[in-house]
Each structure stands twice: as C-alpha cells, then as structure tokens.
Structure 1
Amino acid sequence: MPTGVALQDPRQQLFDAAVRVLMRAGATGLTSRAVTAEAGVAKGVLHRHFADFDAFLTDLVLDRIAWVEIQADALRETAGTGEIADNLTRALLTVMDPVMMAIVVLIIARDELRNRLRAAGTARFPLIGEGTAMIAGYLSAERDRGRIAPDADVQTLAATVMGGANLLFAEWKDMPPDPDVLHRMVSTTLR
C-alpha cells in the first residue's frame, strides 16, 4: 500500500467501499479489513477517522438517514401535485433501494450498532423509522391541502405503507418489486 498519498474524502471513500462490500458479501462479510481493502487504503485510515468499526458503521447509517431525510423533503415538495399513490410509489422505489435493505439487515445483525444509533437519536428501528416519518410528513402535507380526509391517521397510514413496502422489498434479488404491485399496495392502504 503506498504511503503519503492524500485521500480526497476518506470518509466517503470508506463509506462507498463499505456499501460495495455489504452488497457483495452481506452483513457478515462487512469487516474493517474488507472495507479498507475495498477502498484500497491501509487499515489505519479507518481508525484515524473513526474511534472503532462500530463508530464507522454508525456514521455510515447516519449518512444514509441524512439521505432519506433529503428524499423526505423532496417528497413533501410534491404535496398538492399528481396522484398521492404515484408520489408515494416513486418515493418508495427511490428510498428502498438494495443499499437501504442491506443496511437494515446490518442494523438487525449488530447489537452495538443498534445501541449507538439509538444513542444518536435515530428512530427505534433506524432507516425504517425515518422512512415511515417521510411518509407521515408527506401525508400530513396532503391532509393540510385537503387531498386526504381531515381525520386521517397519517401515522398509522405511514406505518402500514412502510410495513407493506418492507414486505415487498425484503425479497429483492436482482430486480425491485413490480412497481404496479407496490402502487396497488399503497393505493389500497390509502383507501
């Protein structure tokens, strides 16, 4: 490994490498050695930027949560336009990609990671909780615009949509769930 080569953005380089390893080898194959080898850096680079591997994983998940929150803002911006089920279906297909599903498995597999994420103030079920909040925020905006019933329980609707989407996405192999099936689930739930 060459030394003295400046890394442009070591955190992002390590995050990108971790995602590649996670997608290829799963949660059990995601080790600090596998990440640094994938990133093409010395193992010490990871420990220079993070206290330990669980701190690295915590920041990786928090980075993904921040991305979900950006998607939530974009979804709320669609309130009042288009069909509600269409907007939600597009948002779910964007957010619930293979990376998110693999990170959810990682969170389930690592007790210390879950503990650190809770200490950082994430939802009780990280990423799934933020995804549910994304849907609830959007449905609240639609309710405020009179496009869904004023007494609609958006929290329950959001949890139900997210739960249904998780069941559809949990078996993702080479292709996402059929968008028509996802749309039908969203539409049925909102009715």
Structure 2
Amino acid sequence: MPTGVAMRDAREQLFDAAERVLLRDGPNALTSRAVTTEAGCAKGVLHRHFADFDDFLMELVLDRIGRIDHQAAALRESAGTGTVAGHLADALTVLFGSVALSIIGLITARDELRARLRRARPPGVPVLTEATAMIASYLTAERDLGRIAPDTDVDTLALTLIGTGHLLFAGREGVPPESEAVGRIVNTVVAGVV
C-alpha cells in the first residue's frame, strides 16, 4: 500500500470505498482492510481519522443519513407540482435504489454499530426513521396545499409507504423492481387520500 501520499478528503474517500464494498460484496465483507484496499490507501489512514472500525461505520451511517436530509428538502420543494403518487414513487426509488438497503443490512449485522447508533441518535432504525420523516414532511406539505385529504394521518401513511417500499426493494441483489411495480404500490397506498 502507498504510504506518505496525501489523500484529499480522506474521510469521504474511505466512505465511498466502504459504500462500493458494501454494495458489491455485502455487509459481512466490510472490514477495515477491505475499505482501505478499495480506497487504495494504507490501513493506518482509517485509524488516523476514526477511533476504531465501528466508529468509522457509525460515521459512515450518519453521513449517509445526511443525504436523506437533502432528498427530503427536494421532495418538500416539489409539493404542489406533478402528482403526489409520482413524487412518492420517485422518492422511494431514489431512497431504496441507493446504498440505503445495504446500510440497513449493515446495521442489522453489526451489534456494536447498532449499540453506538442507539446512543448517538433518536430511537428507530437508522435510515428508515429518517426516510419516514422525509415522507411525512412531504405529505404534510401536500396536505397543507389541499392536494391530499385534510384528515390524512401522514405519519401512518409515511410508515406504510416506507415499510412497503423497503419490502419491495429488499433482497433483489441489485435488480430494482420495475417502476410500474413501485407506482402501483404507491397508488394503492395513497388512493384513499389523494
């Protein structure tokens, strides 16, 4: 491995390398050696930036959760345009078509990571909790605009959409469901409120 070579934005390079390993080989293959090999750096680089590998994984999860915040802002801004079902189907496809499913698998597979995340953030399953909040926030904006029924329980509807979306996308080994399948499920779930 190269030594003495400066890495620009080492944290992001390590996170991106971990994401590639996670997507390609799954959570059980994610080791500090696999990450640093994928990043093309010495193993010590990871340990210079993080207390230990579980600290690295926790920061990876928190970083990827931050991406949901950006998606949530864009989704809220789309309120009042297009179709509610269309925006929801797109949001689920972007969310579960990303590394999110692999991150959920990683959290499930690593006890110490789960414990650290429980201490560092609100209760719930990381990624799924933030995704549910994203959908609820969007639905609230649409309800405020009168595009969904005023008595809609947006929190329950958001949980339903995230749970259904997770089940639809999970276990497909990199082959996402067809967009028609996502649209059909979203239309069925929101039919009574749009």
Q: Do both share a fold (TM > 0.5)?
A: yes
Task: Tell me if the contact between 1:27 and 1:106 (Cα under 8 Å) persists in the aligned partners.
Answer: yes
Segments of 4+ in structure 1 off by > 6 A? none
Q: Secondary structure at the match of 1:96?
A: helix
| Amino acid aligned to 2:112 | E
Q: Secondary structure at the match of 2:26?
A: helix
Q: Secondary structure at the match of 1:64?
A: helix
Q: Which residue of 1 aligns with 2:172?
A: 172
Task: Tell me if the contact between 1:123 and 1:130 (Cα under 8 Å) persists in the aligned partners.
Answer: no
Which deviations, in whole Å up to 9, do the C-alpha atoms of 1:43-99 show, x marking residues without a partner? 111010000101100010111100011000000000011110000111111111241
Distance in 2 (alpha carbons) for counterparts of 1:186 and 1:40: 42
Q: Which residue of 1 aligns with 2:55?
A: 55
Matches within 5 A, 1:27-106: 27-106=27-106
Q: Secondary structure at the match of 2:99?
A: helix
Distance in 1 (alpha carbons) for counterparts of 2:2 and 2:183: 51
| Amino acid aligned to 2:43 | K
Change (3 A) 1:184 1:78: same
Q: Give 1:114 shift.
A: 1.3
Which deviations, in whole Å up to 9, do the C-alpha atoms of 1:117-158 show, x marking residues without a partner? 122214510001111111000000001111111110000000
Q: Secondary structure at the match of 1:176?
A: coil
**Percent sequence identity over aligned pairs:** 59
Q: Which residue of 1 aligns with 2:156?
A: 156
| Amino acid aligned to 1:173 | E
Task: Tell me if the contact between 2:18 and 2:30 (Cα under 8 Å) persists in the aligned partners.
Answer: yes
Structure 2, unaligned stretches of length 5 or more? none
Q: Which residue of 2 aligns with 1:11?
A: 11
Q: Which residue of 2 aligns with 1:114?
A: 114
Task: Tell me if the contact between 1:98 and 1:172 (Cα under 8 Å) persists in the aligned partners.
Answer: no
User: For this pair of structures, how many residues does the alignment match?
Assistant: 191
Structure 1, unaligned stretches of length 5 or more? none
Q: Give 1:4 shift.
A: 1.8
Q: CA RMSD in A?
A: 1.1
> TM-score under structure 2 normalisation?
0.95
Distance in 1 (alpha carbons) for counterparts of 2:116 and 2:7: 27
- Residues 165-174 or 56-65, more deviating: 165-174
Distance in 2 (alpha carbons) for counterparts of 1:28 and 1:4: 30
Q: Which residue of 2 aligns with 1:146?
A: 146
Task: Tell me if the contact between 2:3 and 2:41 (Cα under 8 Å) persists in the aligned partners.
Answer: no
Q: Give 1:176 shift.
A: 1.2
